[in-house]
Structure formats: C-alpha cells, structure tokens
Structure 1
Amino acid sequence: MKIALVHDYLTQRGGAERVFELLCKRYPEADVFTSLYDPEQTIDLNERLVRTTFLQNIPGAAKYFRLMAPFYFPAFRSLDLQDYDLIVSSSTSFAKAVRKRPGAKHICFCHNVTRFLWDTQTYLREYGDYRYFYPLLERVFQMMRKADLAYSQEPDLYVANSSTVVRRIRQTYNKKALLVHYPINDRRFVFSEEKDDFYLASARLISYKRIDVIVEAFNWLGWPLVIMGEGPERERLEAKALRNIRFLGHVSDTERANLLARAHSVIVAALEDYGLVPVEANVSGTPVIAYGAGGVLDTQIPGKTGVFFNRQTPDALQVALLNASEIQWDYDQIRHHALNQFSEDVFFSKIERIIEETCGLHQLRI
C-alpha cells in the first residue's frame, strides 16, 4: 500500500507538527507533502524528501505563511496524489482539501476546524494589526468558508484529538469523527519525584494562551514562576512581571524535559483544543493546574493528575494554586496515567486498526 502523509505547512514546531513527526517516523516509506517547508523552523525530518506546492517558490512565503491563507486551498488541490492508495492528512485548515484517486482512502487527523474562518474574532484578537483590515478580510473569509465546507467532505474519515474537536467537526462540517487522543514521545521526557520550588508555564507567548493571567496571579502570590517560550507578547508580559517571574525564551529539548520533571506544577491558562503540554507534564510526573475547559477535560483527572480552575482570571487561578498546594501528589501515579493513556504504543495500536478497517478489511463503526 502506497501512503502519502500531508501536513498544512511545516514552518513552525507546535503540537500538530509533533504529531505529524510521529506519523513520519512510524511510516518511513511514506511520501511527505506540505504547502510550505522551512527545515530550520519545524520538526526534524532528517534527510526525508519533503514535496511542496507552488507556494514554496514565493519569496518570504515560509516566513509569512499566514498571509498565504487565500492560496492554500488551490495549492493543495494542485498536488498530484493519484498514485497513492492511502492519504493521511494532518490538518487544522487546508490539507484536508487534497484530491485522491477513485478507490483510494483519505484519513484526516483534524486538530481543529479551520479556526480563523470559524472563530474569526478570537483569531483577530491574537493578531491585533489585522483587525484594521477586518471588512476586507471578512469578504475573503466568506469565500474561504464556502471552500472549507466543500473540501471538508473530501476525507473518508476524520480522527480528532479531543471530544471538543469531535463536536466542532460535527457542528461545522456535519461529519462524524473518531476520538483518538494524540500521543507524546515519552522517550523525550524524564521522570522525577523530587520537585524544585518553582512553577512552570510552557507556551507560545500569544494572547489566547493567557499567559497574562498566569503572570498576574504569580505577581500577587510572589511564588517563583518560570515561563518557557517565545512570541509577540513576550515584551509586554516581561514589562508587567515582578522579580519572582523568569522568562527563558526558547530552550533545548533536554532543558525543557528537565524543567517539566522538576517543576512543582505546570500551569495552563488557555482554552486548548487538546493540549500536549499537560500530558508532557504528567509523563514527567508533574501535576497540572489548568483552565477547566477543552482538551484538559479529556486528559486530566482532578485531584489525581491536576486541578482545574473555572474562569480565566488571576483570582480563579490563585484559588486553584492554593488548593493544589494542599494535595499530596502521587508522582508515580501521575506518570502511570500518562503512559497508560497517551503513549505512542497505545496511539498507534488504535491508528493501525483504523487504517486497516478504513482500507476495507473490516466495517468501521463510528
């Protein structure tokens, strides 16, 4: 069986890219396709040949990949995938639009519905300068929504990473989806029962991650906080942070693993569709204090692996932090939960059964 692996764009390194990296490693003979590829800024594919679209030839497109939004659907439609028996797309937006030949199958790992089209106001809040062009953007987005709905019918099967995304796929695209929690590469993380006296946040420093809520809470508490990650919000956040808060920017994978293992707890204030950071913390033996909505409802057990707060406010987070400080955490149990539910072995045992059944050997029930 000839397989094509397709991702929206390989120009950054986020949770969706880490999942695609696992798929590439699992299927080393599969051909890899994407719209834009910047090997310096994304996952490590070693010497793997990555086939791109005509967008790759536009100067600066990889750096300003968000500005290419109106051209992604035509780019993916232009890919020639007629030789492939199975297409596995990894998409938050565009890769689901690829064409397949009659008789071939297309499984889409949908990390979310196309967010900037269906949650436009939140998207514009993250990129404040765009709001000035909203009237023009909205006309473009109206056309793109029609295309997104049409192309959303291309995959034979959707696989979603959380119950939140399953619901969005059904509501937006009128398609059913299988729920399979995405895994982490547990070999990249270390376990420690010894915790140091600091809390940790790991995220891109953009507005919807709500690092501002975390900073304000720790300003008030005075507890030590370490923040990993880069982004356009860094300067503003650093300006409001007191001396108990340190910003590390980008760190190596080794340093990141050590920080996750040694932190007292990992803080997540964003509404995440799924969120790999809480699972990465758990596999390191570290509890999570998270805004109790979205993907964490699938990955965390209150009082066992983490604590939820119900509003994205400093006050609510402070209460959760104080409550968590009273819990005697079982770090072994936290790690066992992550390994038992979110390991690569668990993930691929489900995925390979799905591929087998989708390709016609059994009737797949959803």
Structure 2
Amino acid sequence: MKVAIVHEWLEHYAGSERVLAQLLNCYPDADVFAVVDFLPAEERDFLNGRKVTTSFIQNLPLARTRFRNYLQLMPLAVEQFDLSSYDLVISSHHAVAKGVITGPDQVHVSYVHSPMRYAWDLQAQYLRESGLEHGLKSLYVRWLLHRIRIWDIRSANGVDVFVANSRYIARRIKKAYRREAVVVAPPVALQDFVLGQGKRDGFLVAARFAPYKRVELIIEAFRRMPQHHLTVVGTGPSQALVAKAAHNAPNITLRPPAPPGELITLMQSARAMLFAAEEDFGITTVEAQACGTPVIAFSKGGTRDIIVEGAQPQTGILFDAQTPEAIIDAVGRFEAVESRLSPAACRQNALRFSEETFRQAMRRVVDTAMARQGCPRFVARTG
C-alpha cells in the first residue's frame, strides 16, 4: 500500500510537525509532500533522511523568508502534486494541504488542525491585528480571502474522511464545510513531563505573547490579587503590552522563554497554570497536567476537551469570559477546591493525549476508511 503524507510547509519543528512525525511513525514508508521545505538541518531528524517533494513556490524569489506572501498561489501549488500512484493520502491541514487532487480509487484522510483561520470566522480579527481594516491593501486581502474560501469549500469535496484535533475544530469543520469529523487529539510528548515532588507555590503562565493569548488579562487579574504571585514565561509580538500590564506589580515576575527542562520545573512547582486563549487544542495545558499541575483556563476552544471540571476526578477550573474579573473568580473557585485536585489525577488525565494513543486512533480511522473503500492492497494486507 503506497502512502503519501501532504504537510502544509516545513519551516520549524512545532505542533503540526509533531503530528507529521507520528504519522511517519505509523507509515514509515510514506512519501512526504509540502508547499515548501526550509526546515533547519538540526530539526530534521524525525524525517529519517527522507526527501520532501516541494511545490514550485520553493524556488520563487524570497520564498525562504516570505513564502506566506505567496498564499494566493498555494491552492494552485498543492494541486500540482502528482499523487495518482498512491492508495492512501493523508493531509495535515491548516491552510491548503487538503486541496491535493485524488482519484475515485484513492482514500484521502485529512487531519485538520483548523480550517484556515484568517479566511473564515477569524477574518475580522486577522485584519484588525494586521492593520488591514482600511485602504486598497485591505480591499485586496479581503478579495483574496473571499477567493480562498470558495476554493476551500470546493477542495473539501475531495476529502473522504475529516479528522479534527478537538471537538471545537470539528464544529468549525461542520460550519465551514458542512461535513462531520472524527476527533483525534494531537500527540503530546509526555515522557519528559513527570509529576513534581516538591512544594508548590505561586501561579504560572507559559505562552507566546500573541494578541489572542490574552496574557495581559491574566496579569491585570493578578495585579488585583497582590496576595498571589504570578510567573509569566514567554516572548512575542505583544511583549510591550505584557510588560506594560506587569509594570510596578511586585507580585508578577516576567521571564524570557525557558529551556525545556527549566519550564518543566516551573510547571512542577506551580499551584496552577493559567491559560486565557481560545485555542484549537492547547498542548501546553496537557503538558502542565502531565506534571500534576491543575489548569485554570478559558472555557472556549480545545481546552474543553482537556480540563475536567464538573466531574470527578476534577483537574482544573474553566472560566467563561476573557476578562480580569472572570479570572479572579476562577482563582477563587480554584482555591476552594485546591485540596481536592490530585496531582495523580491530573497526570492520569494527560495520558489520554499520548503519542501512542494518537497513533492507535489514526490507524483505526485510516483502516476503517480503507476498508470502506475496498482498497485492494489494504484488503490483501489485512485479510
């Protein structure tokens, strides 16, 4: 059985690349396709030396640093991949990867990190944060996103099975494409995230300082709770906003991004981790739970699949509004039940999202799709 895996683009080893690594673990003979491949040599080990087939965008001017500027060409680019010899195509999608062309005797399973955020329900937020609300450039970008939405819906017809990384993304798939999706949580490398044994003190935020992360709201909440210490770890485009929010607050400590080992220690020693973003999933919250640390999180997005509240054993607290007042209330509710939030229960909850769990679930999804299609090579392999 010949397998192709279509990845969006290879720039850094991050969340979607972890998914690719586990898919390659499931299908070690698979060929990999991507719009561009500029992954540094020191981050390529998971590819095991395999050559990545890239699109024509790889060789366009300034592509190495500005390939995203060729978004208008990416639908055309992925449609040029010749996948006609493959029995199974798996796309790892958050922009254009699911748009590859397959035939009636091929199975296309698309693992969706998110429908293209900036083209669908988050368009207004994207335009606002990019300073593109007015002017000729704004008009061009709006037209481009309109054209991409039309293509995005058309290309959804070529997918046999959609897989969403959370129930939240499954709802977004349903809204955008009018299709149901199987939910398979992304793989989290839990082996280094172990229970802390020492005393726990203070609260923790570990995030990239991007506008949608709303780190400044958490800081503002803790400014009003001077009895609690908050450590904020990270950097990013909202650095100035975060620094301004924390200015002259003696109970708040800002720290630059920490090496993995140091970040794990911070998680293991925190009373709870705070998370105010509306995320597609939220891998950091799983890592904190693996360290036995409760999580206080915004209740929209993928965190609803992760944090257990309202059932036993409880592993955290959810709040319903991205406001300092809601966060203050959530911290108060956390203190009321803190003694009943078991580190062992948090750890056990995190194990639901292990790499092995992901691989088993994806194999089941793919095998079911292949059996339904009656792929000759699959039937011969399994029967």
Same topology, TM > 0.5:
yes
2:327 aligns with 317
Within 5 Å, which residues of 2 pair with 1:97-246? 97-119=99-121, 120-128=123-131, 132=135, 133-222=137-226, 223-241=228-246, 242-246=249-253
Range with greater deviation from structure 2 (86-95 or 66-75): 66-75
1:259 aligns with 266
- The verdict on how the C-alpha distance between 1:25 and 1:350 changes in structure 2, with shifts beyond 3 A counting, is closer
Quote how far apart the aligned CAs of 1:72 are. Answer: 1.2
In 1, the alpha carbon distance for the partners of 2:222 and 2:279 equals 21
Deviations 1:322-358 (A, max 9, x none): 221232121001101221x222222222211111111
Amino acid at match of 1:268: F
**Identity of matched residues, %:** 34
Deviations 1:206-249 (A, max 9, x none): 11111111121122223332333332111221133134333333
- The verdict on how the C-alpha distance between 1:259 and 1:238 changes in structure 2, with shifts beyond 3 A counting, is same
1:298 aligns with 305
Quote how far apart the aligned CAs of 1:131 are. Answer: 5.6
Kept in 2, the 8 Å contact 1:272–1:296? The answer is yes
Deviations 1:26-67 (A, max 9, x none): 433222221122323977535343222121223433433432
SS at match of 2:224: helix
Range with greater deviation from structure 2 (281-290 or 53-62): 53-62
2:346 aligns with 334
Structure 2: runs of 5+ lacking an equivalent = 375-383
2:380 aligns with none
Misfit runs of 4+, over 6 Å: none
Amino acid at match of 1:147: W
The alignment status of 1:353 with 2:358, answered yes or no, reads no
Kept in 1, the 8 Å contact 2:105–2:373? The answer is no
- The verdict on how the C-alpha distance between 1:149 and 1:54 changes in structure 2, with shifts beyond 3 A counting, is same
Give the alignment's Cα RMSD to 1 decimal: 2.3
In 1, the alpha carbon distance for the partners of 2:26 and 2:206 equals 27
Kept in 2, the 8 Å contact 1:193–1:285? The answer is no
Quote how far apart the aligned CAs of 1:70 are. Answer: 1.1
The alignment status of 1:250 with 2:257, answered yes or no, reads yes
1:285 aligns with 292
Bigger radius of gyration: 2
User: How high is the TM-score relative to the length of structure 1?
Assistant: 0.91
SS at match of 1:39: coil
SS at match of 2:82: coil
Kept in 1, the 8 Å contact 2:272–2:293? The answer is yes
Amino acid at match of 2:153: L
- How many residue pairs get aligned? The number is 362
The alignment status of 1:11 with 2:11, answered yes or no, reads yes
Structure 1: runs of 5+ lacking an equivalent = none
Range with greater deviation from structure 2 (222-231 or 289-298): 222-231
User: How high is the TM-score relative to the length of structure 2?
Assistant: 0.87
